[in-house]
Amino acid sequence: MTTLALQSRCDRDDRHWSFRRLVLNLINGFREAQAISYRYAQLSHLSDAELTKLGMRREDLPRIALNGRA
């Protein structure tokens, strides 16, 4: 095989892997967004009294849903 043929094959493999990585990143991002949305929905249904028992304020729910309790 010539050097040109080897280079061409490597370029195709790199593009194929780059596309796979892009698709996997999109899928993982979608899953993460779903998990954040689910956490927010669960917390937003709690009353202010229930949130206070958990040491949370309603204003903090978006941050807590995104980052978790810190």
Is the four-CA dihedral 62, 66, 68, 70 of positive or negative sign? negative
Going by C-beta distance under 8 Å and a sequence separation of 6 or more, which residues neighbour residue 11? none
Going by C-beta distance under 8 Å and a sequence separation of 6 or more, which residues neighbour residue 18? none
Give the SS3 label for residue 68. coil
Confidence of residue 66 (pLDDT cuts 50, 70, 90): very high
Longest dimension (CA), the chain: 73
Q: Each residue of 30-61: pLDDT tens digit?
A: 999 999 999 999 999 999 999 999 999 999 99
The residues spanned by each domain of the chain are: 24-70
Please give the residue that has the higher pLDDT: either 23 or 4.
23
Whole-prediction pTM: 0.69
